[in-house]
Amino acid sequence: MLKPTHYPRTLKDWLKQLDGQLLPASNESVITLRHALADSNRSMRELADLMQRCPALALGVLREANSKSSGLSEKAESLEAAISRVGIKRTETLLSRLTALPELEMPKALRQIQLISLHASQQAKGLFGGRLARLWQEVHWGSLLFLSPVWTLLAAYPELFDAWEQRVLLKGEPASKVEQDLLGVPLLKLCLAMSEQWRLPEWIILGYRLLVSDRRLLVKALHIAHNNEHLVEQQQCLDADTNLRRWLTQPANSILLANCLAVSAHWAWDSQHSLRWQQLTGLFLQLPLSDLQQQLHQNAVSSARQITSIDLWHPAEALLWPWQARHLQAIVEQPKPAAISEWRQQCGQLLAQPSAFANVLQLTSCANHALLACGMRRVLILLADRNHTRLTAQQQSGLDKAAANLSLEPQQSQVLRRLLSAPAQLRLSPANIAQFSATLPGTLKSLFNGEHLLIRSIASNNRVVMLVFADQGGQAMSEVSVQGFGKTVQCIERALSSFANRGR
């Protein structure tokens, strides 16, 4: 997904944009809360419990209670305390400001992330409720509101959620790279800044600070947690590091653990990311991994029973599936009509009889444009000399400027020698990248970073004269894209034949 030009690109601009963003609420929850607030027999605890089903109001009330205009330095750490501070009348006013919509008309991405927050809250209740009973309000509301900065982000730009799922979860791109592409800033840094600006409960801010600027303790704890089959050894490691042991026992860690468990379960219970957080939670609770996993699954089922939605995904559903099954499927981007028209025009020039090109430069320029029109994002066309002793860059798009002056000696690369010996196509993917990567020149690997690449050698008069390298920014390519590449190369082959035979 290409990033729209209207996205903010700096932390300051994001904070300005999202601070005034209102969250929508479902009609049903607004009506229920309006009646409840008008009922003088309702306790603050009952009102707070009802607001779980209206996250927009819960966040609004807490922000209002902790705003600088309140004049109070001590923050309200729970919704019950926030309602008491704000008052019923002001809470009713905040409710009236919400945009009430039928639930299915609210952005699906927003509802999905709020479901993850509700799941996190249920995990916090099941895992930590008994051990931290005196701090239950902080655990409950901290775990529910931990992802509230993301709620606001997705209320403004719901398309970001699908982009994140497709690129990070399905295609395995580094989250930091995706966030830089889409947001211009790290997501966790943005969440921390928003939490501090809104004066959210301290446990939420501590969790983000840990993830943003103090990961040393977290990494050490994850390393110890990995040795989950030897609880005695784990305890010995903790006893040897007093600072780490003290940090690990802090109650504030409970809301971070609950949310990381819920977010990672959204993709898969058995992913490496999920397993790491399970192991760390087991270390925090001093539980064997098998016992912890049983509790996690039970808590997920309890959460699913409380949430009724026909179009959202709950991780509890995966417990009924084969363990390796995944609910996310790659979205195949269909070529846009304008791109198809451009592709046909370029291919028409390539196929023209007699040849429409006065020189090789014109031909390769048209070939380059045709490859871009068929969906490729990075293209490099290398021409071979008569004796196949040198490859020289003729056209390039989407690459570093240094690619324009690239010159290679193919004899130093087994892959290039094979491609020059006869027309062939090589499709690199995670399944074979290790096999072929070592035999590719380092300059090519640096230009085409990623694990997905198409390489094609093209012949004229039975001799390979050209090598084409193309990909979609290093991302996985659909079969439609690969077929489009193949058809374009066929047009280039015919253009080369017509060009070689011109004037005869």
- 183 pLDDT more than 90: yes
Give Cβ neighbours of residue 206 (< 8 Å, ≥ 6 apart).
252
What is the mean pLDDT of the segment spanning 264-278? 94
- From 291, 320, 349, the end of a domain falls on 320
296: tokens are: 């996690």
Mean pLDDT comparison of 69-73, 127-131, 258-262, highest-scoring range:
258-262
Structural domain for 201, as ranges: 108-320
By the 8 A CB rule, do 382 and 466 touch? yes
**Pair (343, 261) in one structural domain:** no
- Give the pLDDT confidence of 97-135 residue by residue, as tens digits: 999 999 989 999 999 999 999 999 999 999 999 999 999
- Give the pLDDT confidence of 128-160 residue by residue, as tens digits: 999 999 999 899 999 999 999 999 999 999 999
- State how many domains the chain has: 2
**Pair (390, 286) in one structural domain:** no
- 331 pLDDT more than 90: no
**Pair (343, 492) in one structural domain:** yes
- Torsions phi, psi for 396 (to 5 deg): -155, 145
- 177 pLDDT more than 50: yes
- pLDDT band of residue 289 (cuts 50, 70, 90) is very high
Does pTM surpass 0.85?
Answer: no
Closest C-alpha among 24, 22, 23, 26 to residue 103: 26
**Pair (269, 374) in one structural domain:** no
pLDDT at 330: 66
What is the mean pLDDT of the segment spanning 412-430? 91
Residue 184 included in any domain: yes
What is the mean pLDDT of the segment spanning 265-293? 94
**Pair (312, 374) in one structural domain:** no
Question: What is each CA distance from 327 to 55, 122, 165, 428, 503, in whole angstroms?
Answer: 26, 22, 11, 26, 59
Cα gap 42→88, rounded to integer Å: 11
- pLDDT band of residue 1 (cuts 50, 70, 90) is very low
**Pair (300, 188) in one structural domain:** yes
The pLDDT mean for the chain works out to 90
Instruction: Give the residues across from 378 on adjacent strands.
Output: 471
Cα gap 164→135, rounded to integer Å: 34
**Pair (254, 299) in one structural domain:** yes
179: tokens are: 């966030």
Closest C-alpha among 418, 486, 422 to residue 454: 486
